[in-house]
Amino acid sequence: MLRRVGNFLVNSSAHTLSEHDKHHDVDIAKSGGKETGAIAIANAFPAFWLVLPAPCVTNSRYLTSSRLVQIVTFMGYVQIQAKLSAKLAYYLFRWTGKGKQKSFPKVEVNPGKSRNNFVILVE
């Protein structure tokens, strides 16, 4: 799934901003504010959300949050945002198109008897 998601993403040049949004963001930029609003959203695309049950990254023998980000980064994405709630882990990744072919085998990174066996394999 992670390898194929790039095929479904739309290039950011396909997104257009209204004149109101362009002027609003120029005003913010002139005032020294952070990039926000429509331009920030347009610059985030093409992107996708990856949502997993929290125990997949907090209680797995074979996967941690940092290993997940490493895997997805090698596939040509950059992490924009992440949030961990009590039940879910949310990640927002932007497609850069600069993916590398690297395998990520099943490697125990978090030993323990009470851990689950969730893993993401890349071959």
**Residue/partner pairs of 4-8 with CB below 8 Å, 24 or more apart:** 5/48, 6/75, 6/76, 6/95, 6/97, 6/99, 8/48
CB-based contact 77:122 (threshold 8 Å) = no
Chain centroid offset of residue 122 CA: 17
In eight-state DSSP terms, residue 54 is: T
pLDDT surpassing 70 at residue 30 = no
Mean residue pLDDT across the chain: 79
pLDDT surpassing 60 at residue 36 = no
Instruction: State the pLDDT at residue 22.
Output: 46
pLDDT tens for each residue of 14-26: 444 444 444 444 4
| Local confidence band at 34 (pLDDT 50, 70, 90 cut-offs) | low
| Domain spans in the chain, listed from the N-terminal domain onward | 5-95
The pTM is what? 0.71
